[in-house]
Structure 1
Amino acid sequence: MKAPPRLQSLVDEGLIDTVVRQLMSGKEAMVYVVRCGDETRCAKIYKEATNRSFRQAVDYTENRKVKNTRLQRAMAKGTKFGRQATEAAWQSAEVDALYRLAAAGVRVPVPYNFCDGVLLMELVTDAEGDAAPRLNDVVFTPEDARRHHASLLTEVVRMLCAGVVHGDLSEFNVLLAADGPVIIDLPQAVDAAGNNHAKRMLLRDVENLKVFFGQFAPELLQSRYGEEMWNLYERGELDVGTVLTGRFERAAGPVDVGGVLREVDDARAEEAARRLRMAAG
């Protein structure tokens, strides 16, 4: 097929030989299957902020660092230059997270290049060599549900040990490759230690996985892996070899009613936003 305008510069630079087909169009980006020499890869074209249904919420961008102080001031003021810088920072966040997580051994697509708002990365495939399906397009046996749930918990732990929380993890952004689940879509990833909302996002990520796989293996619905995981992380006792039990008991003590109410309000707002994103995707 003819290369879309946003991919033409990569063709001109020799980073892409041919564009095979469009793979998907989501809330944040359009993805194409491309050929690069003897390899088949995918090219993710980020949509402009005005054309995305997923907004750059303050919760996600909190504590993201920009080295250039001029850029920081422009971004804070919301000038045209600042908005362009914010958009570039949002796009590069996924690239940074992919390289960081790939280096930590997390199952994410291998990133190859980032040029002109296009991320060139590995095409995740199934056993037949076709583009791997998302979890939400697959029906699982109870045994497979338990196995893939455990595998993804291992990846979430590995991510947390690398200092990253996905922030929007669900059955819609995990691919089922020939050798198991692969986590995708990371522009909203947050720093576990530097973002005040990281705990809530981690708990929500783990809850989403529990609810999805709990459809096929109902006993998973009683587990509390997220709370257990974060508690170990806060105490400095979580590592990639930690064996989780799925059990957690909250320590007795005075309840921060205000904090609980804020969490409830945040959760409601995030669920409403999630439903909008799902409808748009």
Structure 2
Amino acid sequence: MKAPPRLQSLIDEGLIDTVVRQLMSDKEAMVFVVRHGEQTLCAKIYKEATNRSFRQAVDYTENRKTKNSRTGRAMAKGSKFGRQEQEAAWQNAEVDALYRLAAAGVRVPQPFNFHDGVLLMELVTDAHGDAAPRLNDVSFTPEQALQHHATLIAEVVRMLCAGVVHGDLSEFNILLAHGDVQGEPESTDFPVIIDLPQAVDAAGNHHAQRMLLRDVANLRNFFGQFAPALLKTEYGAEIWSLYQSGMLGNETPLTGRYERSHADVDMQAVLREIDDARDEEAARRLRMATAG
């Protein structure tokens, strides 16, 4: 196919050779399958994310570093320059998170390059070599649901130990890949986490706990459709409690149980959770309608 203008510059620079086809498009990005030599990659072209609310942007970008105080002030005021810088920071956050998490052993697409607002990364594939499906497009047996849920909980822990919270983890941004897995005698299916522009610093963002609890709850609710026993688990609260106490490691055994304290309830946090749940449900319905 003819290369979109945003990808033509990558061809001119020799970073890719040809554009094969468009893979997907949503409100934040367009993704294309591209070729570079013998490699088949995907190219993510970021759109200007005008659909994010200011509150959401503030929550996710809290404590992110800026180039200088002028940039920080412009971003806070929402000027044209500030919005451009904020969008650049949003894109760079995904690039930084991918490199950081790949180095930590988290199953994310391997990043290769970031040029002119385009992220080149591994094309995650299924058993036939085609683009891997999202979890929301797949049905599971109870055993498969328990297995993939356990794998993803371990990935959430590995991310947190690397200092990162995804911030928007759900069945819509996890792919079901196929390939070789260490310790497995044969190739098998395994989840790969994608879409990380909203990733936050676990120690530096005051909303990190709330986001992690929501991420884990999304996993519980999705896989709980296939394995109802998961709906009674409390992995999110258990993981964060261990993290706060300095007792969380990649191999820390988890039970899925958590005994809540009888401290006063933070009503502001509760109301915020209700707002987030409402926003998430609206976004979920939109994604389902778009997918249909």
TM-score category of the 2 structures, normalised to the smaller one:
over 0.9
What is residue 117 of structure 1 aligned with on the other side? 117
Contact persistence 1:27–1:53 (CA under 8 A): no
Greater relative CO (CA pairs within 8 A, separation 6+): 1
Shift of 1:61: 1.0
What is residue 169 of structure 1 aligned with on the other side? 169
Contact persistence 1:202–1:226 (CA under 8 A): yes
Correspondent of 1:255 among 255, 260, 264: 264
Alignment of 1:147-158 (within 5 A): 147-158=147-158
Shift of 1:73: 2.3
Alignment of 1:139-154 (within 5 A): 139-154=139-154
What is residue 270 of structure 1 aligned with on the other side? 276
Please state whether the residue corresponding to 2:215 is helix, strand or coil: helix
Q: What is the number of residues matched between the two proteins? A: 276
Shift of 1:53: 5.4
What is residue 182 of structure 2 aligned with on the other side? none
Shift of 1:70: 2.4
Please state whether the residue corresponding to 1:27 is helix, strand or coil: coil
What is residue 195 of structure 2 aligned with on the other side? 185
Alignment of 1:1-281 (within 5 A): 1-50=1-50, 52=51, 56-179=56-179, 180-252=190-262, 254-256=263-265, 259=266, 261-278=267-284, 279=286
Contact persistence 2:27–2:49 (CA under 8 A): no
Please state whether the residue corresponding to 1:45 is helix, strand or coil: strand
TM-score scaled by length of structure 1: 0.95
TM-score scaled by length of structure 2: 0.91
Please state whether the residue corresponding to 2:97 is helix, strand or coil: helix
Shift of 1:54: 6.9
Inter-partner Cα distance in structure 1 for 2:279 and 2:221: 18
Inter-partner Cα distance in structure 1 for 2:281 and 2:242: 31
Runs of 4+ in 1 over 3 A off after TM superposition: 52-56
Inter-partner Cα distance in structure 1 for 2:18 and 2:53: 30
Inter-partner Cα distance in structure 1 for 2:281 and 2:261: 33
Contact persistence 1:27–1:54 (CA under 8 A): no
State the identity %.
Answer: 71
Please state whether the residue corresponding to 1:57 is helix, strand or coil: helix
Shift of 1:71: 1.5
